[in-house]
Amino acid sequence: MKEVDYIIVGCGLASIAFCEQLRANNKSFVVYDDASQKSSIVAAGLYNPVILKRFSEVWKAKEQLALALPLYAKIEKELDIHIDYKLRILRRFTSIQEQNKWFSASDKPSLEGYLSTKLVKNTNLEIDASFGFGEVLHAGRVDTELLITSYKAFLRRTNCLEETTFEHSKIQFEADIITYRNWNVSQIIFAEGFGVKQNPFFKQIPLTGSKGEILTIKAPDLNIDYAIKSSVFVIPLGNDLYNVGSTYNNEDKSNTPTDDAKLELLTKVKIFIKCDFTIVNHVAGVRPTTKDRRPLVGRHTEHNNLYVLNGLGTRGVMISPYVSEKLFRLIEHNETLDSEIDVNRFL
Ligand SMILES: Cc1cc2nc3c(=O)[nH]c(=O)nc-3n(C[C@H](O)[C@H](O)[C@H](O)COP(=O)(O)OP(=O)(O)OC[C@H]3O[C@@H](n4cnc5c(N)ncnc54)[C@H](O)[C@@H]3O)c2cc1C
């Protein structure tokens, strides 16, 4: 038998942020991942402190960004990769009323410093935006695909990754220690995304799940280095490639790209992108969304050494470092979780 402080089930954004807590605190761990969920790897990866539908602040945006940006910078340095791209996000206005709403929102103290007070005029003939744009400040994009593939490679090199399905029925409980296959482990963290539905210990948590699809297009004539938010996002990736997304589907829980979503994205993007383009990729994943749009974090009601780290919803890039720190403090320092994120609000 081998000894380890933690097993983490899953290697998406939630797990990576928690692994970094463990590494910073010299805890030993092993990660199980079977690549059954795709949410983190297909994500557009945007971080943005503003809800662009309502022009309001994202829940705990300041606290989240204060933890997330240094964490991604640390990972970039340690793994020698570039994943955090600072990005201008331009919200396309469709009317004078929308412009006015933007400028009154930019006066709110909670949004100060996040919404530019200047109207950005469109000068690109390939874009239809006669009412101009509002610019979001302090936004960016994390290349989640590169983050996950590089982080998995790092875990592999350090013998901390088991690339297989974690079988919940094989857990054995003995006093304060759990045995799982050839591991003696103190705590297990389930960071399974929508895969938690197969987890007998936490399957009852109210995760709704929202499937999202993204197209990657090649548009040589578009020539923009900023993201546009209209009824869909257009996000520059470099080399004339852009991600167009995403859709929201609460019925289908598969990771399979669909023709319906493709048609929806094409119809929406053609309203404001006028140049020709070709589709070069199409991906899908299920976001771990919750009823009350808050994460689901905490301890199992009977088994004191089983924990859940889930419910990151549509904003895993920003939320994962924040909730990982909260969970670590609960486990190692017995700090109480905010009731807003504690899974026990539903159990
Ligand atoms: C189309 C789309 C666009 C998005 N865009 C953005 C965006 O721009 N910005 C943003 O912040 N967020 C975005 N999101 C949301 C973001 O991706 C999620 O919040 C985040 O990925 C959730 O991470 P997670 O680690 O909780 O779950 P997942 O990414 O689902 O990771 C769970 C992992 O657990 C593994 N697993 C599950 N069960 C088991 C098991 N029994 N054994 C072994 N492994 C298991 C899975 O294989 C998976 O690797 C987007 C999501 C989608 C689908």
Reported as a single tens digit per residue, the pLDDT across 183-240 is: 999 999 999 999 999 999 999 999 999 999 999 999 999 999 999 999 999 999 999 9
Ligand 1 pocket check: which of 34, 39, 319 to mutate, most ligand atoms within 8 Å of Cβ? 39
Token representation of residue 15: 């797990």
* Number of C-beta neighbours around residue 251 at 10 A: 7
Confirm whether 70 is domain-assigned.
no
- Please indicate, yes or no, whether residues 223 and 282 belong to a single structural domain of this protein: yes
Q: Is residue 256 part of a domain?
A: yes
> Which CATH number fits the domain that encloses residue 310?
3.50.50.60
Which residues does residue 127 pair with via DSSP β-bridges, in sequence order?
273
Q: Is residue 59 part of a domain?
A: no
Q: Is residue 62 part of a domain?
A: no
Give how far the C-alpha of residue 41 lies from the chain's centroid of Cα atoms, to the nearest Å.
9
Match 């991906």 to its residue by tokens.
Answer: 283
Q: Are residues 174 and 223 in the same domain?
A: no
Return d(Cα 105, Cα 110) in angstroms, integer.
9
Single-letter amino acid, residue 130: S
Confidence (pLDDT) at 175: 80
Tell me the HSE value of 135 on the side-chain side, using a 13 A CA sphere: 13
Name the token pair of 195. 């895969």
Compute the distance from residue 11 Cα to the ligand 1 centre, in Å: 9
For ligand 1, mutation pick of 20, 30, 40, 202 (most atoms within 8 Å of CB): 40
Same structural domain, 179 and 325: yes
Q: Spell 174-191 as b/e; 16+ CB within 10 A means b.
A: eeeebebbebebbbbbbb
- Beta-bridge partners for 309: 297
CA distance 98 to 92: 9
> Residue 134, SS3?
strand
Residues of the chain with pLDDT under 70: none
Q: Whose CA is nearest to atom 15 of ligand 1?
A: 314
Domain holding 115, by residue range, is 89-138
Q: Is the CB of 45 under 6 A from ligand 1?
A: yes
Residue from 30, 192, 253, 286 whose mutation best tests the ligand 1 pocket (most atoms within 8 A of CB): 192
Interatomic CA distance for residues 308 and 192, integer angstroms = 9
Domain containing residue 256: CATH number? 3.30.9.10
Say if residue 261 is in the same domain as residue 216. yes
Residue 214 lies in a domain: yes
Is ligand 1 within 6 A of the CB of residue 317? yes
Q: How far is the CA of 18 from the centre of ligand 1 (A)?
A: 14
Calculate how far, in angstroms, residue 37's C-alpha sits from the geometric centre of ligand 1.
6
Classify 194 as helix, strand or coil: helix
Q: How far does the centroid of ligand 1 lie from the alpha carbon of residue 147, in Å?
A: 12
Q: Is 58's C-beta closer than 6 angstroms to any atom of ligand 1?
A: no
**Segments in the chain forming alpha helices (H):** 13-24, 39-42, 61-79, 96-105, 144-157, 259-269, 316-333
Please give the Cα distance from 284 to 278 (Å, whole number): 18
In this structure, are 340 and 192 located in the same domain? yes
Q: Which residue's structure tokens are 């857990």? A: 171
Alpha carbons 102 and 95: distance in angstroms, whole number: 11
Residue at 21 is within a domain = yes
The pLDDT, as a whole number, for residue 72 is 98
CB count within 10 Å of CB 226 equals 15
Asked whether residue 299 falls in the same domain as residue 328, the answer is yes
Ligand 1 atom having least distance to the Cα of 13: 25
Residue 225 lies in a domain: yes
Domain-located, residue 315: yes
Q: Which two tokens stand for residue 229?
A: 């938010």
Please classify residue 215 by burial: count the beta carbons closer than 10 Å to its beta carbon, then call 0-12 exposed, 13-18 middle and 19+ buried. buried
Which of 154, 230, 167 lies closest to 201 in space, CA to CA?
167
Of 249, 272, 287, which residue constitutes the final position of a domain? Answer: 287
Q: How far is the centre of ligand 1, averaged over its atoms, from the C-alpha of 167 (Å)?
A: 19
| pTM of the predicted protein model | 0.97
Q: Are residues 200 and 313 in the same domain?
A: yes
pLDDT at 150: 98
Indicate whether 202 and 299 sit together in one domain: yes
**Dihedral, CA atoms, 142, 148, 153, 154, nearest 10 degrees?**
60
* Gap from CA of 333 to ligand 1 centroid (Å): 27
Q: Which of 287, 308, 328 is the last residue of a domain?
A: 287
Asked if the peptide bond before residue 246 counts as cis, ω within 30 degrees of 0, the response is yes
The verdict on the CB of residue 148 being under 6 Å from ligand 1 is no
Q: So what's the pLDDT on residue 148?
A: 98
For residue 8, what pLDDT is reported? 98
Nearest to 163 by CA among 334, 42, 36: 36
Residue type present at position 74: K
Contact residues for 142 (Cβ-Cβ < 8 A; gap 6+): 45, 47, 72, 83, 84, 85, 317
115 Cβ inside 6 Å of ligand 1? no
d(Cα 212, Cα 250) in Å, to the nearest integer? 9
Other CB atoms within 10 Å distance of the CB of residue 271 = 13
